Structure 1
Amino acid sequence: MKVFFKSLYLKKTFFTAFFSIAVLFIVSYFFEDLLGVAKLLFYILLILLVFDILLVYRNKLGIQANRILPEKLSNGDQNTITLSVINRYQFKSKVSIIDELPIQFQQRNFGITAILKPSQERKFTYTVRPTERGEYHFGNLNIFSSSLIGFIARKQQYSTEAMVPNYPSFLQLKKYEFVAFTNRLKLYGLKKIRRIGHTLEFEQIKEYVSGDDVRNINWKATAKRNHLMVNQYQDEKSQPIYSVVDTGRVMKMPFNELSLLDYAINATLVISNIAIKKQDKAGMFTFSRKVENTVVAQRRKSQMSLILETLYNVNTDFAESDFARLYIDIKRSITHRSLLLLYTNFETLDALHRQLPYLQAIAKTHLLVIIFFENTELKSLLDIPAITTQQIFEKTIAEKFVYEKKMIVNELSKHRIHSILTAPEDLTINTINKYLEIKARGLL
């Protein structure tokens, strides 16, 4: 009985009808002829209420429901959650579904409403966009069902509590893997880089066909075979590609609900996958006060799983990043010339100048690419017309910071250090473009 009352909810329809009859009883105090009508309606209301309760509770199964979750969530992406609902009643039922979402989403008004035919099974889908890596705990699945009378709702609670880990964006990984090896580069902002010369890795000698580069004609082979032969080259393979992620406090700045660190982590996952598909060795490590989370550059099958698991646990320590320590560790542990994609952020020239000697030292033995971020909020401020003195002041300061970012690019270029200045949302695309450019030009 206690369980019965806990699961029984009177609906708005009942209270509306009950209030209307109550008003009719009050009016009948002045018009006695209405008293009989009010009593009749009251009895009908009670009969319908009892009938509705019997109708909804006669079938013990009622509405059956289940939540279908992915094995893991993809950070910063829309992830699909599926709810499977079956109507075990022999009549049409109005169903309201309330799913207890993880606390990180901060949603208190989530609900799905539908009318199910007898014995009908339906699947409902909704999407969630997580913005913090870690564990996401889903609670119970609550189902409220009612008949077409609609006086009561029966609550059924399914214990579907589950924990789903939120990993770096593996959905982006799949998307960019597809476009990087197809002809759809421009669709996603990827550039097709024209090759200048060729890399040094010789593949084979083959017969000349129309369209081959005449500069690659092998005259000795041509003389022996008595027709034109050309040297064929391929991209150099097995080159070490390291993603170096700054986990200092400068990477905690949020954009579009994701921190700069999360953007860098997502880009690291994608570029590592593409590097391996391009037959290069992919590795990574993070640094702040010290270098940690190191994954040595390899091209083995399990490398992407290892990188994904390592990135899952990366967090900022809110400290000042030690570039001197970074230089020492790179010099000691990376002995072969490698491509280093360094994700960090510099807001001013002064901040760059403090670290420039260490960056120059790294760039002497490795191909270093500094990747840092535009402040998109400041850039949007420049598009707003300045009218008041306050607005003019704010716009002037914004222009100064935007200009300093461009000066940082120029300063790095003077010291022959490659750089990418990018909006956070374009980070992955621009990083892939830079990698493809370096491969095409044989810079590594």
Structure 2
Amino acid sequence: MTKSLKNLWGRFLFQDRGILPTRRLLVVFLILTFGLLFATLWEISWIVVFATNIFVLLLSLLDVTLSPRQTELIITRSLPEEMERNITYTVQVEIQNNSKYAFTYRLVDGIPQSFDQPFPLGGVALTGTKTHIAYETFAPVRGKYHINKLYFRYTSRLGLWEKQTTASLEDSVKVIPDLTETKQYLENAQQFLLYEGLKIKKQQSGVGEFAKIRSYVVGDDPRKINWLQTAKLQEVMTNEYEPEHGKYITILIDCGRLMGAELSNGNRLEKALEAALTVMTAALQKGDYVAVLAFSKDIKAYVPPAKGMSHFQTIVRAIYNLEVEANESNYAAVLDYLQTVQKKRSLLLLFSDVRTFLYEESTLLYLKRLRQKHLFLMIGVEDETLLATTKQEPDTVQKAMEKSVAQQQMLVKKREKIKWEKQGLQLVEASEEKLATVAVSHYIDRINRGLL
């Protein structure tokens, strides 16, 4: 297709500028054509036919003058700077009509193709008014997107010709991970404090910082009763302690090939990011230092440890556009790099594929050295297909073989996990819905027990 044909085709696809005939004008010419063809039965000359068509065409062009000039229209757009993945947001478009003509319009915003597309949008803009248009969209893919065009078509009252214009509106939007679970933690942290079905309340006696004095309730440790305040208030009062703050948490995010495995809502990397951000929120809210390291074959992003909720935005800006790579993850390289950047004792929380990690024998040597100084925990997403296969009814020979192989794989994985856990390296798997809950629970469990 030549460049001129591409430009012409682009005008019919809501691009660039131009004047286009509407369906109403085509209907008028279709009726006129059939009428003139019928009139030729009475021997009307072809000159009259062509002259009539040209006259009607020129007369229709007067309709163009009854619509606003492009300079009389001011179009603006308002959209959020950040959007969470798969969360619906509202985009506002304003059309200011400074002309003396009302018109009907259609528009297509130049948002990326991966976004939800509710176009074209239509309506009527009155004379000398501002027309507000709102539409909803969501983005299923993280990243930074530039939106610089809005395609606009409008007609006059007669609606015979349609003017087309392209508004240059420079905007950019960042699509970050879904923070729904992070917000849920901030609203109700207790629902995340579940570890093997029990609410985490206990901690080692004498461990932690003094928090406050409160009334004694059934179940409190009698050794923590504050007898001085009890005597003053004539009511049994007890001291309440909380885990020490200022611990170091290092979150490792695997971006290797197997993290691209699709789940019911996104892939493993998406769920790992959402769970990691929830753990970061819990740690930063409690005053701990949080560092983040994303890797695959090489180091993709590293955020040094810092504390405070303002550090959360620093982390989001660094990892919001992480993508799965086609390479296998190099665990040895990332653990070697970690020893050079993380000097203080830290909880190493790795989000990766447990099954692949178990067979990295060389990684075990690095982790044994790290274990002498750091506390290690790995969390991965369960293989639901493998679990479903182990539970299926073996009513056919093929299903019996599939179940046998799946059970064998589960036994091998269990045996390897035991081998790693004997070295003090714990590996945990959870369903995609409970990944964030399990991650936060294990983090708080280790803080409560004073393991750091």
**2:208 aligned partner:** 201
1:283 aligns with 2:273: no
Partner of 2:156: 147
The 5 A counterparts of 1:80-95 are 80-90=90-100, 92-95=102-105
Output the CA distance in 2 between the equivalents of 1:246 and 1:117: 55
* 1:239 to partner: Cα distance: 1.3
* Aligned pairs (5 A) from 1:304-315: 304-312=312-320, 314=322
Q: Please tell me the residue identity of whatever aligns with 1:194.
A: I
Contact persistence 1:216–1:232 (CA under 8 A): no
Q: 1:108 to 1:24 in 2, by over 3 A?
A: farther
The question of whether the paired residues in 1 share the 8 Å contact of 2:284 and 2:290 is answered with yes
Report the counterpart of residue 21 of structure 1 in structure 2.
32
Q: Which region of structure 1 is more displaced relative to structure 2, 314-323 or 272-281?
A: 314-323
Equivalent residues in 2 for 1:164-183, closer than 5 Å: 164-166=173-175, 168-169=176-177, 172=179, 175-183=180-188
Write the distance in 1 (CA, Å) between the matches of 2:26 and 2:54. Answer: 15
Q: Could you tell me which of 402, 416, 429 is aligned with 1:421?
A: 429
The residue that corresponds to 1:116 in the other structure is 125
3-state DSSP of counterpart to 1:213: coil
Structure 1 residues 347 and 177: CA distance shift in structure 2, 3 A: closer
Q: Distance in 1 between matches of 2:257 and 2:78?
A: 37
Instruction: Tell me which residue corresponds to 1:68.
Output: 78
Equivalent residue in structure 1 for 2:239, among 197, 215, 231 = 231
Pick from 197, 211, 216 the counterpart of residue 223 of structure 2. Answer: 216
**CA offset at residue 350 of structure 1?**
5.9
1:9 positional shift: 0.8
Aligned to 2:3: none
**1:244 CA drift (Å):** 1.0
Letter in 2 for 1:84: E
Provide, for residues 124-167 of structure 1, a one-character-per-residue CA deviation record: whole Å limited to 9, x for no partner.
2231304142x42223211101134222111122111444444x
Give CA deviations for 1:51-77 in whole Å, capped at 9, x if unaligned: 4222114x5545432122333444454
Q: Which residue of 2 aligns with 1:98?
A: 108
CA shift, 1:427, in A, is 3.5
The alpha carbon displacement at 1:15 in A equals 0.9
Q: Identity of aligned pairs, percent? A: 19
SS in 2 for 1:432: helix
Aligned twin of 1:431: 439
CA contact (8 A) 1:202 1:231 kept: no
Aligned to 1:303: 311
| Equivalences, count | 431
Q: 2:294 touches 2:302 (CA, 8 Å); kept in 1?
A: yes
Cα distance per residue 1:392-442 (max 9 Å; x no partner): 877876777677767766665565544442344654344234334444555
Matched to 1:67, the amino acid is: R
Question: Does the alignment pair 1:372 with 2:377?
Answer: no
Distance in 1 separating the partners of 2:344 and 2:21: 73
**TM-score normalized with structure 2 length:** 0.75
CA 1:277/1:300 → structure 2, altered by over 3 Å: closer, same or farther?
closer
Residue 294 of structure 1 aligns with an amino acid whose one-letter code is Y
Report the AA paired with residue 283 of structure 2: A
Q: Distance in 1 between matches of 2:388 and 2:60?
A: 59
Tell me if structure 1 keeps the 8 A contact 2:181–2:274. Answer: no
Please tell me the root mean square deviation across aligned C-alpha atoms, in Å: 4.6
Q: Which moved more, 1:285-294 or 1:157-166?
A: 285-294
Quote how far apart the aligned CAs of 1:261 are: 3.2
Change (3 A) 1:137 1:384: farther
- Name the counterpart of 1:128: 138
**Worse overlay, 59-68 or 365-374:** 59-68
Task: Give the conservation status (yes or no) of the 8 Å contact 2:70–2:165.
Answer: no
**What are the ranges of 5 or more consecutive residues in structure 1 without an aligned counterpart?**
none
Please tell me whether residue 158 in structure 1 is matched to residue 158 in structure 2.
no
- Consecutive unaligned residues in structure 2, runs of 5 or more: 1-10
Amino acid at match of 2:26: F
**Structure 1 counterpart of 2:65, from 31, 54, 72:** 54
- What is the distance in 1 between the residues matched to 2:192 and 2:304? 33
Shift of 1:97: 0.4
